[in-house]
Structure 1
């Protein structure tokens, strides 16, 4: 955490990001969140949790090593911070996907890969993670610019999804710190964050509903491609024609190397995209 002294750096030209509503999450507040979800051990490094709530809008930025937009930090505001929660989010995302996959593997021992993939996608998606973050009231502790504050940044789905994953990364790192060097203890951080995630799943997820809940194949394919391959599929409408007075749309899906993964038709562009996504899911063995 940066001390509240000296000149700070604005991340938006001519607009002050300083937000008097920001308050760093306290040690006791972290203890409460953990204890309510199966973790009785006390956190060790509060700075990890502080960073987990830091949105990039409240961080200093450098452009070609030249600091720009310097303004005085108001006395009633937190200073801008050096690093956002994005690295913790990256770590938490990887942990979450593995833990959910392992949990579903054990919960449904007779289910095939396609079923498990669909259920995982329903859980590990932006809307559901934002919902879980709302249950935990994580938005209350976000550190965001006054511009985001004015635009309901604390309830923004993307911000909530990100802070949920960043919190998981912070928990893992905090409880992975080993003082005596025994290698057997290096798994404590993972075990702790796994217990935290499973407690949340079993507290807030209605599996009887989520199993029968329909999922959009396009959303499923996009999410899986982003997670497994780190690219976003591109949907192109390559043809529209009339057949017996009914329009037929043809959609092509391509990957990041412009390779055509699937082609399908439908009476509307949306239906054609869904049909193409279903083919793409089968192409990769995800359905």
Structure 2
């Protein structure tokens, strides 16, 4: 086994049964022109990895965020698997040091180019999937994406609170506030229910694993209610 590939496996904490898959995942098309001994590059793996990555992230957010709407799930997946996100993870894993590029591509800074790094990450995903199977591929990806997914979900959900606040501010003197209604369950698995109030009148309620999440869900219910009252709130589209 080539020393650099062994070091990469240690970094990934994934040890390949077929190390040739890992090697192939790191071969950029530009490398083949100067190395006739190689007859394959990573673009087919990139194609497969894109599908595996999307499915694994979708599976994770579907399981862990049962209250998220289809639109929220779609926005979260799109944000998490975008080029900049994949390139960032590739940098954390030092994939650039292992990608095999043609001389021209290397001289022009290919090892740091976001598109090349993102493609290499997708190819790596496919290699892990083919070598280790679906469950290992999922656990590998989830460990890398968990923090980013949580931040993205919070951002997507918080749009409801921001939007609701902006709507209420247009009414001038109206006051919006959030209150905790109930707290249930053991310490390790608590469930919070909060209400959002407009001038002390309950406008919406929601539940979640944290107070923040419950407030976001309450704001979502309030926004949906206000959208129905198109006569009174005609500026909500």
What does residue range 138-287 of structure 1 map to in structure 2 within 5 Å? 138-175=95-132, 189-202=133-146, 205=148, 207-208=150-151, 211-212=154-155
Matches of 1:210 and 1:147 in 2, distance apart? 40
What does residue range 52-131 of structure 1 map to in structure 2 within 5 Å? 52-60=25-33, 81-131=38-88
2:19 aligned residue? 46
Following TM superposition, the consecutive aligned residue runs of length 4 or more in structure 1 with deviations greater than 6 angstroms are none
Give unmatched runs, 5+ long, in structure 2.
Answer: 158-237
Deviation of residue 25 (structure 1)? 6.4
Deviation of residue 174 (structure 1)? 1.4
Return closer, same or farther for 1:107/1:159 CA change in 2, 3 Å cut-off. same
Give unmatched runs, 5+ long, in structure 1.
Answer: 1-23, 61-72, 176-188, 215-287
Query: Of Structure 1 and Structure 2, which has the larger fraction of its residues in helix?
Result: 2
Matches of 2:6 and 2:102 in 1, distance apart? 24
1:32 aligned residue? 10
Which deviations, in whole Å up to 9, do the C-alpha atoms of 1:176-219 show, x marking residues without a partner?
A: xxxxxxxxxxxxx11111110001012x52623563269xxxxx
CA RMSD of aligned residues (A): 2.3
Which deviations, in whole Å up to 9, do the C-alpha atoms of 1:69-109 show, x marking residues without a partner?
A: xxxx7xxxx65521110011111111000000010111211
Which deviations, in whole Å up to 9, do the C-alpha atoms of 1:29-60 show, x marking residues without a partner?
A: 2331332xxx4xx3111111110000000114
Matches of 2:145 and 2:86 in 1, distance apart? 11
Which structure: larger Rg?
2
Matches of 1:25 and 1:173 in 2, distance apart? 22
Matches of 1:213 and 1:33 in 2, distance apart? 32
Instruction: Tell whether the 8 Å contact from 1:30 to 1:43 is kept in structure 2 after alignment.
Output: no
Return closer, same or farther for 1:129/1:32 CA change in 2, 3 Å cut-off. same
Return closer, same or farther for 1:27/1:58 CA change in 2, 3 Å cut-off. closer
Deviation of residue 173 (structure 1)? 1.2
Q: TM-score, normalising length from structure 1?
A: 0.51
